[in-house]
Structure 1
Amino acid sequence: MGKALRIALIAGEASGDILGAGLMQALKARHPDVSFLGVGGPLMQAEGLSSYFPLERLSVMGLVEVLGRLPELLVRRRRLINALIAARPDAVIGIDAPDFNLDLELCLRRAGLRTLHYVSPSVWAWRQKRVLKIRDACDMMLTLFPFEARFYDEHLVPVRFVGHPLADTIPLQADRHAARERLALRLDCPVVALLPGSRGGEVARLGALFLDSAERLLRARPDMRFVLPCANAARRAQIEQMLVGRDLPLTLLDGRSHDALAACDAVLIASGTATLEALLYKRPMVVAYRVAPMTYRILKRLVKSPYVSLPNLLAGRLLVPELIQDAATPEALAQTLLPLLDEPSRQTESFDAIHRTLRRDASGQAAEAVLSLVGER
């Protein structure tokens, strides 16, 4: 394609900024005469995005927080819709942030613009009727996982499975020895990584539970050591408070979760994206999660998926143990994790095949999908 292209991208949080920047790099490599507008963070702006307003104005988490910011969000979305209709870009790509982006994409598509959505919401697990809105809002859905693409195929939504960027960046074989040297961890003892989550609420519910489990693991294996990456200074302070009165051989890290995963022998981990990272590092894991009792009762009725963790969803079977809510006790977590230290292959034999399935040059695949859609004009 020889003509100049204008592509709009709208990211709502830091993870979307990373995906958007990678997609922009891939688009420029394939079509040098391309310009970008929309909403993005520093990484996307560094790639040439002209952002209508700071990404942080869309980055809101929690029901109460969203309600407090709702008037501003609605005004920003309406102004953004009007600006993009006036600009008439060749394609509009909403990156994640479905509550903001899907309504925006619906309005823009009705105005005659091509729209794509990059990163599927968990529509296959709950609120499945959203797929009808997605079908109206998007010319194409770009998914990170193959089971998502199968869901959209079944519901007649144009879809392309592009793979996951983490699978592209994490090596097929991580160097445990080098990671331990970077973290000043002993080479001659078992190391367990504790990943209780990155949000304050997650750490409040799982932090002490994981530390209690570590104490039981230590009684069974006195030579064991532990490493816990903290997402930020607030999470570190939260964990340090939980450690008062305990005597654990635990190394706290500021970030560096990938180093922790590369260095460890097994992982005690909260359900979430981190379970995918543990899988890609080929580390056996036990997944735990707790939410407020009322939230759990509601979700139990709404969620259609038999699994909560990404490794099991990708495998299509119970590959890694999931201890949820009342089942997540220190005794159960320790007893479930201990055998994995001696027989990691129970899980990890399947991890490599999943990694290779997801390793598809996600940014490049997404760029090809965008250009093919633009070429259909």
Structure 2
Amino acid sequence: MCEFGNILKYEYLKLFHRKIIWITLGIMMILSVVIVFVSDVGFDSEEPGIVQYIRKNKQEEMEIVGEKVDDRMLEKYRDKECAQGLWYFLNCLFPSDYICEVTEEKLYQQRQELLQNNMEEARLTKGEKAYWKQKEAGIEKPFTYGYTAGERKLTAVFYTLAMMQVIFIAVTVPSIFADEHFRKMDQLNLCSKYGKGRLYGAKITAGMTIGIGGTLCLILSSVIPILILYGFHGLDVRIQLIYAACSHHFTIGQVISSQIILLIFASVLESAFAMFCAEKMKSGMGTMAVMTGGLLLSLTINIPDQFRMIVQLWNSIPSNILAVWNLLDCRLILQFGRYFTQLQVLPIVYVILAVLLAAGGWRGYKRYQITK
């Protein structure tokens, strides 16, 4: 165990001495902070700055926290400037110029129609529709209003964090295996006194932990400014208040926790994939090209809904699933006679795939022979 610790320490030292890791992490963390403010740039307000605008809006919204979203609230707080969170919720269901005519009956009827349309477009089976009908019946209506500005920001930010995570891992992790081939150090490493097994284990551990560490830094870079500016006052509010088109029995806090967990598990899978490719191709640049190319494909390809299985698989890849509309998708997974959501299945799938990639990489690593 002591020998493994020394090898692992050596792998960390090699990583931490690479300037590109710190430069990439620094840029990604700065971008994580910047994207928090992007949607407030160019706001229309009499306040002299963004911070003052946020504080003013927060004070106005906190006055109606805990009230029901019913006819009385809709009549009293129709103005976007008076209740931005309420306007955001209504705008998810109605065009902006129609909001002033919304009533409680129209609001919840429109939401039911949206849910029904989503199920039809997703081509759900009768069993899936019955599952969501049962879930919907357990959601209390009318909804209770809560101040969710910070939570709205954070749930949206995770989609961008997932992309930056791929870039960070593509830049930093492949070098763990590729550099020893590129620098012709494999002749020394592969004749290690303690064998290839411990060396491979140390490399895999270093790669996965550096991926997790970078992911946590990205998350904190967004969470901290949001916490300071907005606070997290609506973690116990139903998710329907910021994403109306779902029947999940989640609070906003539970959804954010799920996004954090998925992002961490995704970092493990992506790190395993990066190291597998780096060892197979003996190239860090090649691995970076594969991962960034895959990221670009995930952003550009839009698969029609009639190809349900392909859509469900495509939305399950790490760079897509963190988008809240994919995370809370109504398509279910039938296993052992029961329906499961993607949130219940994907963390397990990611771990299994990471283990398989690590095992596949080990098979090639232990058989690798230096020919020149």
Which has the higher Rg, Structure 1 or Structure 2?
A: 2
Higher relative strand content: 1
Provide the TM-score with structure 2 as the length reference. Answer: 0.26
Greater relative contact order (Cα < 8 A, sep 6+)? 2
**Could you state the TM-score of these two structures normalised by the residue count of structure 1?**
0.26
